[in-house]
């Protein structure tokens, strides 16, 4: 039986800037965000059934680093690798602003963004193609661009909504312009199993959250 390389994609917990475009603003978790990740760690432990996470990767932004830290502590993971490639999409001049504030200050640009956020980008922010490119670069570094993936190993990525949705579009073979049809809650778990030298992905589940 072929054993897959298992990859968990995990969204960070809640922060104090909900309702605003956080982007790459470096904000910490709230106490509720810490609880999000404690629940995520407990759910991971149940799903793993005694298996170990061999490698844990995180965005270098504080909310992701703290989230990864909770998981590492609860699951006994000693090594956590921080990657700038896993940062959230940069929202430029819109970072830290509420949606109504953006609409008032940048009415034309915001209208275009709402109409089609794939082909339009925030003022001064990253384009969708830029986000896709670095998301896939991160995956290449984590899974290895040329070597055979070691079956039976388990890795996890703690990152942000924009990055994880891009990765799921990639694994599902969805057009990237459909990225906003994927919804991921704070602290959610997603599992992808990757098979063989061809790196054939199978998405086992998405947006799993635990309240315990």
> How far is Cα 70 from Cα 37, in angstroms, rounded to an integer?
6
For all residues of the chain together, what is the average pLDDT?
93
- Structure confidence at residue 211 (pLDDT): 63
User: 119: how many CB neighbours lie within 10 A of its CB?
Assistant: 12
Q: Over the stretch 108-126, which tens digit does the pLDDT of each residue have?
A: 999 998 899 889 999 999 9
| Sequence-separated (6 or more) residues with CB below 8 Å from residue 212 | 39, 42, 43
Superfamily for the 5-208 domain: Phosphoglycerate mutase-like (3.40.50.1240)
- pLDDT tens, residue by residue, 55-97: 999 999 999 999 999 999 999 999 899 999 999 999 999 999 9
* Strand partners for 81: 57
């Amino acid at each position: 039986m072929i054993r897959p390389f298992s990859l968990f994609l995990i969204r960070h917990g809640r922060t104090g800037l909900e309702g605003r475009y956080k982007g790459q603003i470096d904000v910490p978790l709230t106490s509720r965000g810490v609880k999000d990740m404690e629940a995520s760690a407990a759910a991971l432990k149940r799903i793993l059934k005694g298996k170990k996470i061999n490698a844990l990767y995180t965005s270098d932004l504080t909310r992701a680093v703290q989230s990864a830290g909770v998981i590492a502590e609860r699951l006994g993971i000693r090594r956590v690798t921080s990657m700038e490639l896993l940062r959230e999409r940069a929202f430029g001049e819109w970072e830290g602003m509420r949606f109504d504030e953006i609409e008032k200050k940048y009415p034309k640009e915001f209208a275009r963004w709402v109409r089609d956020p794939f082909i339009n980008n925030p003022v001064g922010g990253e384009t969708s193609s830029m986000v896709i490119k670095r998301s896939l670069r991160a995956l290449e570094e984590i899974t290895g661009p040329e070597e055979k993936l070691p079956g039976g190993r388990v890795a996890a990525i703690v990152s942000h909504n924009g990055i994880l949705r891009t990765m799921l579009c990639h694994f599902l073979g969805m057009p990237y312009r459909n990225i906003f049809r994927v919804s991921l809650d704070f602290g959610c778990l997603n599992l992808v199993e990757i098979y063989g030298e061809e790196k054939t992905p199978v998405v086992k589940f998405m947006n799993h959250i635990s309240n315990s």
